[in-house]
Amino acid sequence: MKHYDVVVIGAGHAGCEAAYAAAKLGVSTALVTINLSEIGKMPCNPAIGGPGKSQIVREIDALGGMMGRVTDASTLNIRLLNTSKGRAMQVRRAQADRDAYKLHWKKTLENTDHLDLIEGMAEEIVVSDHRVVGVRLREGLEIRTSAVIVASGTFLNGEVLIGNLVYPAGRTGEPPSIGLARCLRDLGLRMSRLKTGTTPRVNRRSIDTSELERQHTSAVPLGFSFWREQRVLPDDYPVYVSYTNEATHAVIRNNLSLTPNFNGLITSEGPRHCPSLEAKIVKFPDRTSHKVFLEPEGRDSAEVYLQGIYTAFPPDIQDRIVHSIRGLEHAQIERYGYDIQYDYIDPTQLSPTLELSGIEGLYLAGQVNGTTGYEEAAGQGLVAGVNAARSVLGDPPFVISRTQAFIGVMIDDLVTKGVTEPYRMLPSRAEYRITLRESNADLRLAGIGHDIGLLEDPLYEQAMARKEAIEKLLLHLKNERIGSRHPLNKALAIRGTPVLTDNGASLYELLRRPPVRLSDLISSDDYPEDVLTEVEIEAKYSGYLEQQEREIERLRRMERLLIPEEMDYAALESLSIEGRDLLSRVRPRTFGQASRIPGVAQADLSMLAIILRQ
């Protein structure tokens, strides 16, 4: 019998970050997975980042996690998105080498102190007196432990669907987790089903790119990690863009009875923001085309992922769909798309630490909580890993507020509102998204990562040096005033903004004007690019940022109004029956969280505030 302080089940993005975080905090950790060669696997598209997701990756990096560093080490192509919008809204998206990404994760974990990797299938979580005491593997090994993190992805009772074919699998080519799913149900957890899907992959040599739009990698240095030098990549692995057409749509409309998305085999909800191609054709009958992104899978692989063609049609129909698209007329499909249904846990049963209410030491992270996406899973994994380690060490819980990070928004949404479809992080979910930019994640979170012991001293000092440089430049701009005779007046006139009068203005006031660039006011050679970018954002968005800071402070006051853990909502007769039921189900930790529970009336919140003050 082995003993570890923390056991992590599953080595996807959630499990990798959880295991790394727990071990980094100094507790003995075991990562259990059915195949050590598939650690950090990207079963869907080989891409990291994008709106809402890029922020999470940068926050993981700022806290001391590894996703950003592993992505940068395996990137093929990286671009800045939303470039037509303001600097605060721009985000990164990278195409990763699928095999290199896995290899870097495996190397990272194999070389992490206090962490052992174990190949096997977890079948039972042993609970005694409402707390975790062990894990039993299919292979007969029993591990004694104080904390377990379930990061099982789509493996719980997973089923793959292609056409009319249904077979058990955690993902194609890998077995599902039946015993663990049964164990979690036997422990009394509320569980349901969700579904997701993948696209066909084709051989690069069979594609004609001559008439397709080419998306180049960034011509300026770019990366996810704050701690690695930003670089320009060779433009050897571009993404190409094609489109579906009327012929594509006709094939789909004429064969809807052959896809599990419409023949009744799929009974669970899929991700609304990433629907199947057949669902898009039915839902938007007036659209004559939809984008298809041809994404490279790796330096040593000829496979190309057809982003946008999520489908589970039989192989012969998938061939017809693919061959109807420009550039893919003779494409050879190496892997066919499929859908997968799986069990997930109702996340309202979790606390903001991702620990399950009622079973001490049991944490859940990733798709098992009803989310979709590598980035969402990794963010949860880091939080679960830190909290599992801190519970072993006797340290206070680690909770990220929705005022501090996109990770905090996501977890608060999950544990407060639950899910009815796979949850995807979107910028619109974050009320304070201008404050919670991807560009300032290190300024917001490096101190927290350092305090909990996840971010090393040199990296923390690097973040503080950047923060000091930004503050120093902002102070200079606010203190430096110029008048009507200053040579900068010519630049203002060229920019089409009013010239200065005798009263003059500070450089900061000038920078707040939309047409004025920081390079108009100072020599850009004197400061690093990331400092200049952040200073310009702070000035341009100062009005919005000040307003959001007032709103954030209001929410902080609500979060400081704590609700006793033993609160008996059923006994609060001044609340409505519905309000009592909803509050009892979620059991919010603070008044702020209670105010975000869907369906709780304002009258109930007013009464709850009075009760708490009493």
H/E segment holding residue 580: helix 577-586
Per-domain residue ranges of the chain = 2-154+189-196+342-451, 201-339, 457-545, 562-613
Tokens coding 164? 């009319």
pLDDT for 90 equals 93
Mean pLDDT by 10 residues, the chain (614 residues): 96 98 98 96 94 97 98 97 88 97 98 98 97 96 97 96 95 93 96 95 97 96 95 96 97 96 89 89 94 96 96 97 98 96 96 96 98 97 98 97 96 95 94 94 98 97 96 94 85 84 87 89 87 94 91 88 90 91 91 90 89 86
Residue (of 578, 562, 577) closest to 611 by Cα position: 562
Tokens coding 80? 């800045």
Count of beta carbons in the 10 Å neighbourhood of residue 372 = 22
pLDDT for 269 equals 87
Tokens coding 275? 């629907």
10 Å CB burial of residue 315 (0-12, 13-18, 19+) is: middle
pLDDT for 489 equals 82
**How many residues comprise the chain?**
614
* Cα Rg, the chain, nearest whole Å: 26
pLDDT for 484 equals 83
The CATH architecture to which 201-339 belongs is Beta Barrel (2.40)
Cα separation, 537 vs 520, in Å, equals 15
Largest distance between two CA atoms of the chain:
84
pTM for the model stands at: 0.94
- Strand bridging mode 115-119 / 29-33: parallel
**Quick one: 562-613 is in which CATH superfamily?**
GidA associated domain, C-terminal subdomain (1.10.150.570)
H/E segment holding residue 7: strand 6-9
- Domains 2-154+189-196+342-451 and 562-613 in one fold: no
pLDDT for 555 equals 87
Cα separation, 607 vs 215, in Å, equals 56
pLDDT for 503 equals 80
Tell me the CATH number for domain 457-545.
1.10.10.1800
- The answer to whether domain 2-154+189-196+342-451 has CATH 3.50.50.60 is yes
Count of beta carbons in the 10 Å neighbourhood of residue 254 = 11
